[in-house]
Structure 1
Amino acid sequence: MTALLDSIKTNRFGVFGRAGMDMYADPIGVKSEHADTFKADLGGSSANICAGLCKLGSWSTLVTSVSDDAIGRFCVNRLNHYGVDTDNIRIVGGEHRISLAVYESVLEDFQNVIYRNGAVDFQVTEEDMDKVDYATFGALITAGTVFASEPSRSATFRAFENARKAGIPIIFDIDYRPYSWPSPQVAADVLSRAGEESDMIVGNDEEFGFMAGGIEKGLDKARELAQKPGRLVIYKMGQEGALTLFEGEEIRTGIYPVTAIKPNGAGDSFMAGLLASLANGFSLKEAVLRGSACASMVVSQPGCAPAMPTVPQLDAFIADHPGPTEA
């Protein structure tokens, strides 16, 4: 057993990144511009991962900043609703605002309108990171969005330093969102640095390709990163499943086909399902498949955090499903 997997087995995770509000058109099939009603819940990639972990029986704390307004308080309340520890959230006044995503449960011409003006989650500081008690969790998780702007970028690299000093592994979800970055070149440079400093890297073929300078180079990039002893790399390929690279072994896994109603939330649910399953003693291949099942469940239901499964729901889905596709 490696140090990375041993740390994951503590089943306690510090998640760094943004929380936000999701508003999604109701009912299923209605385009946002034609909706009379929207439902609201927790959103934001890191907050979704936290909620997904807690619903699967893990412990998670979110390290971020939220706006000192009704929407910021709404997000903190929803985090508490899902059982997420909120002791590491700083309230920020002024004109900074929490993220808002407005989307629909429609696959054709899917629209997800993101409001990120004056994003408050970019306001986390190195001082914030030094206040975190890293001994309370066994692994640090971050999504790539935190690196898109300052002071969050430097603050998160500071968290990496603090985690290494505490002997805590770093789990990096590339999660490249072009709209958050000043330029593709800055993004490629910074995300590549984050990957080099991480112990586990999860991304899709386009994200690894972006880091490598071309989608055709993505798999080679993933294999190069996986050469570091003890580092785990998961290369996701959409409908083609995933390739898990670890200790010289390559494990191919398929997906659980479903009738999807939206594309978003899959990556966050995959990460939560993967880590919670590893923490509960499943093999690496089984954990990847359970993460894939979580992703399928989320894209087949409205919302993100509310669509994340519990353990009984996940077990029932896997038991009832004819099985993953052949990799």
Structure 2
Amino acid sequence: MKRLMDGIKANNFVIIGRAGMDFFPDPPGTKTEDGVTFTAALGGSSANIGAGICKLGGKAALVTRVSDDSIGRYCVNQLKHYGVDPRHVTPVGGEYRNSLAVYESRIDDHQTVIYRNGAADFQMNEADVAAVDYRRYGALITAGTVFAAEPSRAATFKAFDLAKDAGLPIIFDVDYRPYSWPSPKVAEEVLSRAAAQCDMIVGNDEEFGFMAGHIDKGLNKARALSADNAGLVVYKMGQGGAITFTEGREIRTGIYPVDALKPTGAGDSFMAGLMTSLAAGHDLKTSILRGSACAAITVSKPGCAPAMPDNAILEQFLADHPGPTDA
């Protein structure tokens, strides 16, 4: 646990995973099929986490592949805009393309369409991760989508080995996306293998349930991972808040209710808020609640990376909000 917290306190993260483009119709409330004006923004869980960390004063570098075209260059420019170091973002040619998420800024009948065929980020290979000097960073973060296909899967497991050799703790956002995987069985096996190597695991009740074989077994799976190998496990339950397992303790936290504009971006913003709050010296419960506040802010505005708060916005939200729900 000490190694994990020391790594986080460096507030300098190497993040493995995709950068993509988000596309959503304006104004908020518009259905995609009725859209005339659309806004583009940075997308992809790992890129969003990096953007959120940088907006909150931390440092982050992304390791991935992008398409060698205008969309790939757009993603790199967006990373630079948010302060995410793109030195380990490598273009790949041919027919590989960046992922695209088309979603709506509305809750009722919300629609999201994901384009992931021939995804450029899945072409990240072992040479890409071997080129990283892990000693520059305090901790490694990854999201589960990187394990859905080769060569990205083997490359990420190689990055785990290299990071451990450099003394870095590994932080894993399960981030299970069924459309990326060849089968649920493969996903269950690979994500469980990844989780067993991590110092910190963050996931929702469905994701832990998936790894355990049934949603009713998810809570016990999270508890067991904390006892076996992960010093910190955060079990998220949506409107029900979260249960955090660490060193034999169970910490229950609520959420900050808001009028949500959309359901997307909450998990990425939660991770960014949790990491930077721990790095700033807040205790664990406070840090989890600050992550929850970041998630609430993000779902109340259009976009994901653009909607994530900086420190001034976060502090103002915490000052103005009546407080979290009871755990």
Q: TM-score if structure 1 supplies the norm length?
A: 0.99
The alpha-carbon deviation at position 40 of structure 1 amounts to: 0.4
**Cα separation, 2, equivalents of 1:53 and 1:158:** 24
Written as runs of structure 1 = structure 2, the 5 A alignment for 1:16-165 is 16-165=16-165
Q: Does 1:317 align with 2:293?
A: no
Q: Which residue of 1 aligns with 2:216?
A: 216
The answer as to whether partners of 1:4 and 1:230 remain within 8 angstroms in 2 is no
Q: Which residue of 2 aligns with 1:186?
A: 186
Give every structure 1 segment of 4 or more consecutive aligned residues whose post-TM-superposition deviation is greater than 2 Å. Answer: none
Written as runs of structure 1 = structure 2, the 5 A alignment for 1:265-280 is 265-280=265-280
**Cα separation, 1, equivalents of 2:306 and 2:273:** 14
2:228 is paired with a residue whose SS is coil
Q: Which residue of 1 aligns with 2:205?
A: 205
**Unpaired segments of 5 or more residues in structure 2?**
none
The answer as to whether partners of 1:2 and 1:230 remain within 8 angstroms in 2 is no
Q: Which residue of 2 aligns with 1:247?
A: 247
- One-letter amino acid matched to 2:35: A
The answer as to whether partners of 1:3 and 1:230 remain within 8 angstroms in 2 is no
- One-letter amino acid matched to 2:187: A
**Cα separation, 1, equivalents of 2:132 and 2:230:** 26
RMSD, matched Cα: 0.8
**Unpaired segments of 5 or more residues in structure 1?**
none
1:182 is paired with a residue whose SS is coil
- One-letter amino acid matched to 2:195: G
2:271 is paired with a residue whose SS is helix
1:87 is paired with a residue whose SS is strand
Q: Which residue of 1 aligns with 2:10?
A: 10
Deviations 1:161-203 (A, max 9, x none): 0011111000000000000000000000000000000000000
The alpha-carbon deviation at position 229 of structure 1 amounts to: 6.0
**Cα separation, 2, equivalents of 1:256 and 1:96:** 40
**Cα separation, 2, equivalents of 1:297 and 1:134:** 32
1:258 is paired with a residue whose SS is coil
**Cα separation, 1, equivalents of 2:73 and 2:226:** 40
Deviations 1:24-71 (A, max 9, x none): 110011111101100001000000000000000000000000001000
The alpha-carbon deviation at position 228 of structure 1 amounts to: 3.1
**Cα separation, 1, equivalents of 2:18 and 2:3:** 27
The alpha-carbon deviation at position 231 of structure 1 amounts to: 1.3
Deviations 1:134-180 (A, max 9, x none): 01111000000000000000000000000111110000000000000
The answer as to whether partners of 2:198 and 2:230 remain within 8 angstroms in 1 is no
**Cα separation, 2, equivalents of 1:115 and 1:296:** 26
Written as runs of structure 1 = structure 2, the 5 A alignment for 1:294-313 is 294-313=294-313
Indicate the percent of aligned positions where both proteins have the same amino acid.
Answer: 67
Deviations 1:216-240 (A, max 9, x none): 0000000000003661000000001
**Cα separation, 1, equivalents of 2:301 and 2:35:** 17
The alpha-carbon deviation at position 290 of structure 1 amounts to: 0.3
**Cα separation, 2, equivalents of 1:112 and 1:140:** 29
1:302 is paired with a residue whose SS is coil
Out of 103-112 and 142-151, give the one that drifted further.
Answer: 103-112
Count of residues paired in the alignment: 327
**Cα separation, 2, equivalents of 1:16 and 1:3:** 20
**Cα separation, 1, equivalents of 2:77 and 2:121:** 17
**Cα separation, 1, equivalents of 2:29 and 2:103:** 11
**Cα separation, 2, equivalents of 1:129 and 1:326:** 42
1:243 is paired with a residue whose SS is strand
2:87 is paired with a residue whose SS is coil
The alpha-carbon deviation at position 3 of structure 1 amounts to: 1.1
**Cα separation, 2, equivalents of 1:230 and 1:118:** 33
Q: TM-score if structure 2 supplies the norm length?
A: 0.99
**Cα separation, 1, equivalents of 2:45 and 2:111:** 17
- One-letter amino acid matched to 1:89: V
